[in-house]
């Protein structure tokens, strides 16, 4: 099984991590979804004719999932197969990523307000 490479510092040091396949959380393994349409309200459904609603339920409006490229599965780091050094480095990477994402969300709230998210 192929590995994932993570860069864990500014000097571009790398660590290879074992991986495993899991069902894609974006499309739930279908390889496609209609999330690009956004959330559907009852008013939206009331405005659709019955044929359009049947098409929606049948997946006519679905697009290929970007997260898994339509495969329905994604490769993730396998913590059960990591040695102690790999696990420590992976946890550092995940912590840094979580801190970065929190900073991005805070900036978005600051510049665009809470109602934008």
Task: With a cut of 60, say whether residue 1 has pLDDT above it.
Answer: no
Are 19 and 6 spatial neighbours (Cβ–Cβ below 8 Å)?
Answer: no
Task: With a cut of 70, say whether residue 91 has pLDDT above it.
Answer: yes
Domain extent at residue 72: 19-77
Which ranges of the chain would DSSP assign to H, the alpha helix?
A: 42-47, 50-58, 84-112
Domain assignment present for residue 43? The answer is yes
Domain assignment present for residue 50? The answer is yes
Domain assignment present for residue 95? The answer is no
Q: How far apart are CA 117 and CA 98, in angstroms?
A: 18
At a CB cut-off of 8 Å and minimum separation 6, what does 75 contact? 2, 4, 19, 20, 21
Task: With a cut of 60, say whether residue 116 has pLDDT above it.
Answer: no
pTM here is: 0.65
User: How many structural domains comprise the chain?
Assistant: 1
N- to C-terminal Cα distance for the chain? 38
Domain assignment present for residue 85? The answer is no
Each residue of 33-82: pLDDT tens digit? 988 888 878 888 888 888 988 888 888 989 999 999 999 999 999 999 99
Domain assignment present for residue 92? The answer is no
């Amino acid at each position: 099984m192929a590995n994932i490479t993570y860069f864990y510092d500014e000097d571009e040091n790398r660590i290879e991590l074992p991986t495993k396949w899991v069902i894609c959380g974006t499309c739930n393994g279908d390889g496609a979804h209609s999330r690009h349409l956004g959330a559907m309200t009852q008013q939206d459904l009331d405005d659709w004719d019955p044929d359009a609603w049947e098409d929606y339920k049948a997946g006519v409006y679905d697009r290929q999932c970007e997260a898994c490229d339509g495969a329905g599965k994604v490769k993730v780091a396998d913590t059960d197969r990591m040695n102690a050094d790999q696990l420590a480095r992976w946890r550092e990477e995940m912590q840094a990523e979580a801190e970065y994402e929190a900073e991005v969300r805070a900036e978005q709230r600051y510049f665009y307000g809470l109602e934008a998210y």
